[in-house]
A and B are shown apart, each in its own frame.
Chain A
């Protein structure tokens, strides 16, 4: 403001020169509400006002705090004309002064250079602080304590410029990264090779009593134990060998197996890779080397060894395998013995043991995993509360919502994936959840990092992100049968806006562009960052290994109908008893029948039909000799057998495995035995890993032998469908449920429509994509489309319009632009933003567009127009974050997610692709208001330990009266803009008891802070706090 002495000089000179004085003291027309004509700010326009005005104009009295109110005739000048107009009005000869006033308060509706700095009008306050508050309400999730001062000190212009230029990866506030790292797990990138595959044969023992003390030793005779295929367990449908006794409270299960480590060891370090639920201790060659830990680092089990009757002291889900190093020297060349005792948690119906042994060669780098969807959903709150780059996070949330994907659809997709034997890969839904959470998080993280970058990058990233490819069905879109779901939404929601310059025919053409867009999985060593992942896409699908069938379904087997024993005991005490002689390599099966598999009856799934089996015999026997040159090779040898109803399998005369419904059928089972439960040949075979049975294999001929038993003699359905394969791992080998791999974009040329395409034909923006592209070139169709869309005026209009909706005012929409009803200021802002959109070499630089919107240098555009302040209803996420920020409370709780969800906004879980609404109408409702109020009052009263705040941090330790307390919160929450009416309500609330009677606030009383907190909850509940 001008020094007073200088102004005196001006007045004197002007008076001398006979000029009419016009006061234009500052370029900045600061605005507070005022009453026109009420120069002395006493609440009414009366004779005292022209007297004060004349005194200011002509005798050097103090300048009024609000020159706008002195401008009685609203001509933009303060001069004697105003005094004349006031006098005319007061004495009844002249018109009422233009609004606002004379009784109501309001903002100046006329553009002029006058300002209004102080006024007793409601909603007054320091204009600079109000402007800072407005800025932080829009480009941040509201001000934190002290932040208004920071902006005032730094300057609004510099604050905006800092926010427009975040430094990637280095948020000035480390808390955000620390909190996020707390719920991520860093996994080293590695190349993994199996020593012991997941589906091996084990002997197992139910922990109803203590096993013999030497059960972990290589020499232990486990032949009396049960046989089963890993994994062992119950619940979640992720186990191969079901252990039903878990349901009856069985505390433990003991498993052992032996395997061969080749003398020429595979490179890398050995690990036990363990999928388990809930706790375990693992022994190799009799030596304990791994024991599971609770989340606090204390083992699940105690004692050496733990007794059979212990329960694991904490639940643990078998979601992803965990790695336990095998100490040097423990893994020997030759035969090794792995023994594991697994223990369930008490009252848990869910148990899993699925060990593997792998070698890993670290290849550097690392990736993060999110353990739960709750933690994914916490991220926007953590970032909103802590990040110093607030604008980036506000925009990150904006893009996440703009390119919305629903995590639930992703989870459904992953949990439905099956391997080549029709087993669910992510049998435990937690595995699918974690993959989904991670992919969703990475997408959100990209949108934050690139929030101020090129729109076209955001669009192409979204198109090729796994969540979007799944969510809007691109993975189902192929040349023969296009799916229009994504094509419609990329035009309607992501770029042009509904009915804004495209036709149904355009949608159909765009759908053809995205044919062949799909997903696949690659090992971490093959990951590429964006945009390489789409510029140079993976084009083939994931293959675990190249597979060669040694024995295929349909090959001839020798078989023997079980009307009698195939090899009755010729000697001994029990002549005629069953033996396993028929399973041995040297057995003469030349008298047996020969026929292709499947062998059986019923269901029409058998090539060799035993049409005399029904009511005649309950079992049949089958043998097949196969030849391998070297028992150490090939690397993977796997037998898959689909069956109905039960089987016992022998390799070279040794029983290897039987279906669990044959467990009580005798050893070996007699030909009259029946399976104890039914099993259908369903295309989901049992897998038997032969890799660790190599000691049994010989160079040359080997024999597989099966006996297949029916459920009963009258059961009319039996089947036997065996398949033996040898596999060679591909360079992309990675287990589907392994963390050493990731789902990424895949362009499948085989499903792409390579014909020519015409989008927007007949318009100036016509895009013609030629035919003749081949192979991976087909992906370029989409690059052409992105380039076309980012340069399309419809996109510029729609995206800039949405940014205005987000940052300035809801009173703009495609419809209100079309019919011209959008406020002119907003139309002007839109025009300048569209110019900015095209001002860069590549159109659509969001940073440049946002700089135009925020107008940091002039601060004179619509963003700064007082009529657009506190005119936007906070979304639930904005409400929750701004509430916590306002009092400097930390965010460390899943509860925030739940509260915002109760208010109607659960990020990452919205079904509809249109995103959460930005328009206030959609956020005004009884339930959302109720939940806001319930949350804010709970927060204010410190009822939640997860997000506490300290009253003394806000009001200090000095005892204060009610007015002083209210003044402080008025400033902290509203930059001292509460109206008298609001202050009265708050004070009455603060100074009344539950009986409604007056109860003065006593700073020395025990309930002082509780009462203040209650009033803060009331302030949060006011209409004013619902706005930003």
Chain B
């Protein structure tokens, strides 16, 4: 049990009317309200970006394709009896991802037979995939392949369109040093690598004085302290980046308060036997689960790095296997830990591209085209998609430039399904969330055929 002194030490909590009475009436109401729920339902997303380009063929193995062979993949190839069968007589999962199978196959989790809540979506990409990490990540995040400039995220646009989202002090966050493009937009969301250090230095009173007060009207000059500076009149009219920096400063003060309040509820103990990976990624996922339970956040995300496996990628063991294992264990832990809200949660993984179908001379793989996505959550119709004897044509591993696995499904239609089926968004909004969506869908009807993984 926290006592009052402990609460005070965490700093900035007076901003929360829940804990302390306002210091002075009128001033207090000039702060933004810091708690409450956004409109538009209680569905939430956890977004995981596998940065570096995941080798889809070493993640979900097309066992039924003769090209998946020791000829093409001398050191990467995994034997039939070492991989995990996905039940359609064609696709197998890398053995390191075994922990995820209890989400894939529900009975392993709760004894209820039948398909679980994990959809494995193979061969996801977009037309003319970029093989530059930086461009490719940008396109997956801004939702507009080909647009190098747009630095506003697809997820931001979707969530910001729900009523009240941008006014919330803690509508979402990304667990890293900085916000990825996917979550960027005109109203900043907080980003921090960990919750513990997300606080201002100084005593409670010092922090209170430093944070100060928002002005009575946006851009006004009667604020005080940090809120006064960042919520007040800019130092330059129409100055570059002021429209982003100023609200970021306000959001900083507010989100620190919310996060510290969440931490003040005591040490976080994962539930239902969830065990997160013992690395930074696992710690961050555990913090995401904590924030899912203790704050009104609707969109939380994290990066997992190490996928750029140009050299010594490994087979059943090795660097790629290790991070696949972390990812799988993380998804398993989330599904256990968040069982109470599992019906409202959707976990989505993406990676900017897959890799070359033929192993390179350094026992690794180079940048390729289509990759594999994982989508988990209570609403998900578990199964493997785009990797079965019916849709996987002969030579599929070399359909693009004779080197790469080509996309069979555009990532935008995957997100479109999620936005519509999970979040209840109107189909007409897809064009707004992903500018150019309608034209791209019309031009590539095959790529934009929904996979139906949400029932």
Residues of A within 8 A of B (CB): 33, 100, 104-106, 122-123, 473, 476, 478, 480-485, 488, 492, 498-499, 504, 809-811, 813-816, 819, 821, 870-873, 902-904, 911-912, 914, 919-930, 933-934, 937-938, 978-982, 984-985, 988-989, 992, 994-996, 1018, 1021-1024, 1026-1027
B191: chain A residues at CB < 8 Å are 925-927
Given contacts A476-B361, A498-B132, A989-B225, contact A488 B200 (CB under 8 A): no
B240/A811 in contact, CB under 8 A: yes
Beta-carbon nearest neighbor of A917 in chain B: B178
Please name 7 further chain A to chain B contacts, defined as beta carbons within 8 Å, in addition to the given A985-B223, A996-B23, sorted by A numbering.
A123-B235, A499-B130, A504-B401, A912-B134, A925-B177, A926-B191, A989-B209
Contact of B151 among A100, A914, A921, A981 (CB under 8 A): A921
Contact of A914 among B134, B229, B251, B366 (CB under 8 A): B134
* Interface residue? B367 (CB, 8 A): yes
User: Number of A-B pairs whose CB atoms are under 8 Å?
Assistant: 185
A985: chain B residues at CB < 8 Å are 223-225, 228-229, 232
Q: Report how far A919 CA is from B197 CA in the complex, Å.
A: 26
Contact of B177 among A473, A873, A904, A1026 (CB under 8 A): A904
Q: Which of B241-249, B268-276, B379-387 contacts A (4 or more CB under 8 A)?
A: B241-249
Chain A min CB distance to B140 (Å): 15
Beta-carbon nearest neighbor of B244 in chain A: A924
B235/A938 in contact, CB under 8 A: no
7 A-B pairs closest in CB distance: A481-B361, A871-B240, A815-B148, A904-B177, A926-B190, A476-B362, A994-B205
Chain B min CB distance to A365 (Å): 36
Q: Report how far A994 CA is from B238 CA in the complex, Å.
A: 34
Chain B min CB distance to A242 (Å): 27
* Interface residue? B252 (CB, 8 A): yes
* Interface residue? B236 (CB, 8 A): yes
Q: 6 A-B residue contacts at CB 8 Å?
A: A476-B361, A815-B147, A930-B192, A930-B198, A992-B209, A1023-B229
B198: chain A residues at CB < 8 Å are 926-927, 930
Q: Report how far A1023 CA is from B237 CA in the complex, Å.
A: 13
Contact with A along B128-160 (1 / 0, CB 8 A): 001111110000000000011101000000000
Interface residue count on the B side (C-beta < 8 Å): 69
Contact of A871 among B133, B226, B234, B241 (CB under 8 A): B241
Tell me the chain B residues, 71-92 only, with Cβ under 8 Å from chain A.
none
A926/B362 in contact, CB under 8 A: no
Q: Report how far A981 CA is from B235 CA in the complex, Å.
A: 8
B41: chain A residues at CB < 8 Å are none
Contact of B242 among A123, A902, A903, A1023 (CB under 8 A): A1023
A920/B241 in contact, CB under 8 A: yes
A870: chain B residues at CB < 8 Å are 235-236, 239
Q: Report how far A370 CA is from B229 CA in the complex, Å.
A: 43
Q: Report how far A507 CA is from B188 CA in the complex, Å.
A: 38
Q: Report how far A980 CA is from B246 CA in the complex, Å.
A: 17
Chain A min CB distance to B260 (Å): 12
Beta-carbon nearest neighbor of A819 in chain B: B149
Q: Report how far A871 CA is from B237 CA in the complex, Å.
A: 12
Contact of A928 among B177, B202, B305 (CB under 8 A): B177
B233/A926 in contact, CB under 8 A: no
* Interface residue? B398 (CB, 8 A): no
Contact of B236 among A123, A922, A927 (CB under 8 A): A123
B401: chain A residues at CB < 8 Å are 504
Given contacts A478-B361, A994-B206, contact A938 B201 (CB under 8 A): yes
B224: chain A residues at CB < 8 Å are 985, 988-989, 992, 996
B229: chain A residues at CB < 8 Å are 982, 985, 1021-1023
Q: Report how far A867 CA is from B191 CA in the complex, Å.
A: 30
B184: chain A residues at CB < 8 Å are 921
B228: chain A residues at CB < 8 Å are 985, 988
Given contacts A476-B311, A925-B248, contact A979 B235 (CB under 8 A): yes
* Interface residue? B230 (CB, 8 A): yes
Contact of A813 among B149, B200, B256, B366 (CB under 8 A): B149
B133/A929 in contact, CB under 8 A: no
Contact with A along B203-214 (1 / 0, CB 8 A): 001101110100
Chain A min CB distance to B342 (Å): 29
* Interface residue? B179 (CB, 8 A): yes
Q: Report how far A277 CA is from B285 CA in the complex, Å.
A: 40
Beta-carbon nearest neighbor of B228 in chain A: A985
Beta-carbon nearest neighbor of A809 in chain B: B240
Contact of B233 among A484, A928, A979 (CB under 8 A): A979
The main secondary structure of chain B at its interface with chain A is loop
Q: Report how far A33 CA is from B244 CA in the complex, Å.
A: 23
A484/B366 in contact, CB under 8 A: yes
* Interface residue? B193 (CB, 8 A): yes
* Interface residue? B421 (CB, 8 A): no
A984/B362 in contact, CB under 8 A: no
B209: chain A residues at CB < 8 Å are 989, 992, 994, 996
Q: Report how far A995 CA is from B133 CA in the complex, Å.
A: 51
Most chain A Cβ neighbours within 10 Å, of B226, B229, B256, B367:
B229
Q: Report how far A484 CA is from B133 CA in the complex, Å.
A: 14
Tell me the chain B residues, 340-370 only, with Cβ under 8 Å from chain A.
360-362, 366-367
A482: chain B residues at CB < 8 Å are 361
Given contacts A504-B401, A984-B221, contact A814 B241 (CB under 8 A): no
B134: chain A residues at CB < 8 Å are 498, 912, 914
A980: chain B residues at CB < 8 Å are 221
Most chain B Cβ neighbours within 10 Å, of A813, A873, A926:
A926
B206: chain A residues at CB < 8 Å are 994
Contact of A911 among B132, B147, B200, B305 (CB under 8 A): B305
Q: Report how far A1018 CA is from B188 CA in the complex, Å.
A: 22
Chain A min CB distance to B184 (Å): 7
A813: chain B residues at CB < 8 Å are 148-149
B360/A481 in contact, CB under 8 A: yes
B221/A922 in contact, CB under 8 A: no
Beta-carbon nearest neighbor of B51 in chain A: A912
Q: Report how far A473 CA is from B312 CA in the complex, Å.
A: 11
Contact of A499 among B132, B197, B232, B251 (CB under 8 A): B132
Q: Report how far A927 CA is from B179 CA in the complex, Å.
A: 9
Q: Report how far A927 CA is from B360 CA in the complex, Å.
A: 39
Given contacts A483-B362, A982-B235, A994-B205, contact A1023 B244 (CB under 8 A): no
Q: Report how far A903 CA is from B197 CA in the complex, Å.
A: 12
B221: chain A residues at CB < 8 Å are 980-981, 984
B251: chain A residues at CB < 8 Å are 926
Chain B min CB distance to A472 (Å): 9
Chain A min CB distance to B450 (Å): 31
Given contacts A873-B241, A981-B233, A985-B229, contact A930 B200 (CB under 8 A): yes
Chain B min CB distance to A124 (Å): 12
Chain B min CB distance to A924 (Å): 5
A485/B366 in contact, CB under 8 A: yes
* Interface residue? B313 (CB, 8 A): no
* Interface residue? B32 (CB, 8 A): no
B201/A922 in contact, CB under 8 A: no
Q: Report how far A603 CA is from B348 CA in the complex, Å.
A: 47
Contact of A929 among B197, B249, B361 (CB under 8 A): B249
Given contacts A925-B177, A938-B201, contact A920 B240 (CB under 8 A): yes
A988: chain B residues at CB < 8 Å are 224, 228
A928/B178 in contact, CB under 8 A: yes
Given contacts A498-B134, A504-B401, A994-B209, contact A925 B178 (CB under 8 A): yes
Beta-carbon nearest neighbor of B201 in chain A: A934
* Interface residue? B310 (CB, 8 A): yes
* Interface residue? B255 (CB, 8 A): yes
A473/B311 in contact, CB under 8 A: yes
B177/A1023 in contact, CB under 8 A: no
B135: chain A residues at CB < 8 Å are 498-499
Contact of B200 among A473, A921, A933, A994 (CB under 8 A): A933
A933: chain B residues at CB < 8 Å are 200, 226
B248/A924 in contact, CB under 8 A: yes
A810: chain B residues at CB < 8 Å are 240
